[in-house]
């Protein structure tokens, strides 16, 4: 690479005494520019990673505090009450798992219905409802709207201008009379 100097980056230097802003042009070679870009992107990435790390630590601390409070609360309960609490908690977890399993089955059914109706299966997430009947109704309504939109688009693409009356047919301008005389057997 040649040592071309490029005017690439401008930096602003603020004069504290007069509150005026001066713009200084830095002339950098392509290699210097690449190093500057990499260092800036590394700096931004480090900042984002640090922020995400703090968020994760905060969430972890909140969850830890919540678990400690729950453990303290359960420790204060009698053995029977503690077992009842654990049983209720397990039942809730089982209900949540069942709900997630039903949702997966409903999505699989919706994908199958969409495929059988010739619709893209990517729309399954948008058409899911609380139960199978409502999902099927959503799919049928979507199919009607989708088909109508496709038909309208096809009609628009196939639409042609009506031919002009009395116009010429093609690039030749031979009249019917001339054609009849040309093809006469008996002249």
The pLDDT score that the predictor gives to residue 82 is 82
Strand, coil or helix: 48: helix
Tokens matching residue 185: 């057997």
Extents of the domains making up the chain: 30-76, 97-153
Distance (Å, whole) CA 127 – CA 138: 6
The pLDDT score that the predictor gives to residue 167 is 53
91: Cα within 13 Å, side-chain hemisphere: 6
The pLDDT score that the predictor gives to residue 140 is 92
Burial class (CB in 10 A: 0-12, 13-18, 19+), 22: exposed
Global pTM?
0.45
Distance (Å, whole) CA 31 – CA 128: 53
Within 8 A by CB and 6+ apart from 86, the residues are 74
The pLDDT score that the predictor gives to residue 91 is 96
Within 8 A by CB and 6+ apart from 109, the residues are 132, 135
Distance (Å, whole) CA 170 – CA 174: 10
Whole-angstrom CA distances from 74 to 26, 66, 67 are 66, 12, 10
Strand, coil or helix: 88: helix
DSSP type of residue 16: T
Q: Which pLDDT tens digits describe the chain residue by residue (187 residues)?
A: 444 444 433 334 344 444 445 566 778 888 988 998 999 999 999 999 999 999 999 999 999 999 999 888 878 888 888 888 889 999 999 999 999 999 999 999 999 999 998 888 898 888 888 888 999 999 999 999 999 999 999 988 888 777 666 555 555 677 787 777 777 766 5
Distance (Å, whole) CA 88 – CA 90: 5
């Amino acid at each position: 690479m040649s040592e071309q100097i490029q005017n690439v980056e401008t930096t602003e230097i603020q004069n504290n005494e007069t509150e005026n802003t001066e713009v200084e042009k830095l002339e950098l070679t392509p290699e210097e520019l690449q190093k500057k870009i990499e260092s800036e992107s590394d700096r931004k990435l480090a900042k984002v990673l640090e922020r995400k790390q703090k968020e994760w630590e905060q969430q972890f601390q909140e969850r830890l505090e919540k678990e400690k409070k729950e453990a303290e609360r359960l420790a204060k309960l009698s053995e029977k009450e503690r077992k009842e609490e654990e049983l209720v908690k397990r039942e809730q977890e089982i209900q949540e798992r069942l709900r997630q399993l039903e949702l997966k089955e409903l999505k699989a059914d919706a994908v199958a219905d969409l495929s059988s109706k010739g619709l893209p299966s990517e729309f399954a997430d948008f058409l899911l409802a609380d139960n199978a009947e409502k999902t099927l109704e959503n799919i049928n309504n979507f199919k009607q709207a989708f088909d109508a939109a496709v038909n309208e688009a096809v009609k628009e693409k196939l639409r042609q201008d009506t031919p002009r009356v009395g116009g010429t047919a093609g690039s030749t301008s031979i009249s019917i009379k001339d054609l009849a005389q040309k093809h006469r057997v008996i002249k």
